[in-house]
Amino acid sequence: MELRTATQEVREASLGWMLKKLAAGLDADMEALLAPLGLDMPSFAILMTVLERHPLSQAGIAERIGIAPYRVSRGLDRLEGLGYVARRPDPGSRRSLVIRPTEDGASLAPRLYGVVETVNARLSAPLSETERAQLTGLLQRMVAARNGR
């Protein structure tokens, strides 16, 4: 009985368990907010990257986000269908394409940042400003440590 209670705490109070729980809730929130824009998570990530870093090749997008090229291809199909980005021939190489946002895509930017902010605000609602900054700092160091391995 004592063991059971202890292990219960080990798991449900563990950093990992809470992190996963929060990340799962976050995904659900994101998807709900993105659906009205016609976006899913991959196309959202691609569109954000294009807005931030254009001009980019598809290979460049794949590398930056860390997803496979074929997924960029599909994501761009969707984004192009929605009129948010354009694939244009690269003057420098006929086997490359240059991806840029359209005007519609660029004008969507504020709503996309709005999604990010909404989701983060909801997440950190129970925290004070100070605590939120604290949390951000701690997480940043954890992410940095992970990337550095």
Which 3 state secondary structure label does DSSP give 60? helix
Place of tokens 């292990």: 7
Residue 95 Cβ, how far from its own copies at the closest point, in Å? 27
Q: Which is nearer to its own copies, 93 or 140 (CB)?
A: 140
Determine whether 90 is exposed, middle or buried from the number of CB atoms within 10 Å of its CB (0-12, 13-18, 19+). Answer: middle
- How many CB atoms within 10 Å of residue 128? 9
CA distance 50 to 62: 11
Region from 68-76, 85-93, 96-104, 129-137 binding its own copies, contact rule CB under 8 A = 129-137
> Is there binding between residue 76 and DNA (CB under 7 A)?
yes
Closest contact distance (angstroms) between CB of 3 and DNA is 24
Site mask, its own copies, residues 24-63, x = CB under 8 A? Answer: xxxx--x-----------------x--xxx----------
Based on the shown chain and the rule CB under 7 A, indicate whether residue 115 belongs to the binding site for DNA: no
Residue 94 binds DNA, judged by CB under 7 A: yes
- Give every CB contact of residue 18 below 8 A, 6+ residues apart in sequence: none
Nearer to its own copies, 98 or 119 (CB): 119
Contacts of 84-91 with C-beta under 8 Å, sequence gap 24+, read 84/47, 84/108, 85/47, 85/50, 90/57
Does position 103 interact with DNA (CB under 7 A)? The reply is no
Which positions lie near DNA, rule CB under 7 A?
40, 42, 57-60, 67-74, 76-77, 87, 90, 93-97
